[in-house]
Structure 1
């Protein structure tokens, strides 16, 4: 055996297209994705988490409006069938 070589291959690495960091492809750096060939997303977990936080902040007013509307619809329905008793 030649000294300095190993039969164990290096762990696969991938460059995140968003932050341009090169990371080891595993569950701690990339999210799982069953549709991807290797089973992991293209963007790193940090970039995907940040994008999700931004999306949640931008959608917060819309989601609050939808919640209020659905609550009003349910209340009206239960009042119409006599199953709602206001405290």
Structure 2
């Protein structure tokens, strides 16, 4: 044997968010069936941080929407006589 392996190196990708070069697998990148290789472009850490920020910025809108849905359901059930206040 000449010391070389028949097993190819695992593919690596540079994340455009943090500029780290990581092995492309489930531990470093989220799966995405719409991407050619089946993984997202940004690494899991960058993507998770972006989602945390987005979620915290949208909290007031989600709370307002929840209050509106609750009020609509209450009005509906009151209109059909299926709601009794506790």
With normalisation by structure 1, the TM-score equals 0.95
CA RMSD of superposed structures (Å): 0.7
Equivalent positions of 1:5-84 (< 5 A) are 5-84=4-83
> How many pairs align?
86
Output one character per residue of 1:8-65: Cα deviation in whole Å (capped at 9) or x when no partner: 1111000000000000000000000101111000000000000000000000000000
**Any runs of at least 4 consecutive aligned residues in structure 1 with deviations exceeding 6 A, and if so which?**
none
Instruction: Please list every run of 5 or more consecutive structure 1 residues that lacks an aligned counterpart in the other structure.
Output: none
